[in-house]
Amino acid sequence: MTSGRTEGGSAPSSRPALVASIVNNLLWGGAPLLFMALGRAGANSWEIVAQRAMWSAPWALLLVLLAGQGGQVLRAFRQPRTLGLLLLSAVCIASGWAVYVWAVNHGRNLESSLGYYINPLMNMAAGAVLFRERIDKVGLAAIALAVIGVAVQTVALGHLPVISLVLATTFWIYGLIRRQVGVDAQAGLLIECLFMAGPGVVAVIWLNHNGQAMFGRQLAPSLLMTLVGPVTVFPLALFAWAARRLSFATMGFLQFLSPTVGFAIGLWVGEPLTPLRLLSFVFIWAGAAMFAYGAWRASRRNQIAA
Cα distance between residue 138 and residue 36, in whole Å? 38
Task: Give 274: exposed, middle or buried? Use CB within 10 Å, 0-12, 13-18, 19+.
Answer: exposed
pLDDT value for 109? 94
121 Cβ contact partners less than 8 Å away, ≥ 6 residues apart: 142, 143, 146, 287, 288, 291
Q: Taking Cα atoms as reference points, which of 108, 104, 171, 157 lies closest to residue 279?
A: 157
Spatial contact of 86 and 181, defined as CB atoms under 8 Å apart: yes
pLDDT value for 183? 84
Q: Report the interhelical angle of 80-104 vs 109-131 (nearest 10°).
A: 150
Q: Taking Cα atoms as reference points, which of 126, 128, 129, 132 lies closest to residue 176?
A: 126
pLDDT value for 126? 75
Q: Taking Cα atoms as reference points, which of 78, 161, 180, 81 lies closest to residue 118?
A: 161
DSSP 48: H
pLDDT value for 8? 39
Q: Taking Cα atoms as reference points, which of 149, 110, 184, 104 lies closest to residue 291?
A: 149
The alpha carbons of the chain give a radius of gyration, in whole angstroms, of 20
Cα distance between residue 236 and residue 60, in whole Å? 10
pLDDT value for 172? 86
Cα distance between residue 270 and residue 250, in whole Å? 32
Quick one: CA torsion of 105, 53, 29, 36, rounded to 10 degrees? -20
Q: Taking Cα atoms as reference points, which of 24, 10, 282, 9 lies closest to residue 151?
A: 282
pLDDT value for 280? 92
179 Cβ contact partners less than 8 Å away, ≥ 6 residues apart: none
Q: Where are the domains of the chain?
A: 15-135+160-246+254-269
| pLDDT lower than 50: segments of the chain | 1-13
pLDDT value for 233? 87
Phi, psi of 13 (to 5 degrees): -95, 30
Q: How many residues comprise the chain?
A: 306
Long-range interactions of 127-130: CB distance < 8 A, separation 24+ = 130/176
Q: 3-state DSSP helix/strand/coil percent for the chain, to nearest 5?
A: 80, 0, 20
pLDDT value for 146? 86
Cα distance between residue 175 and residue 172, in whole Å? 5
pLDDT value for 249? 62
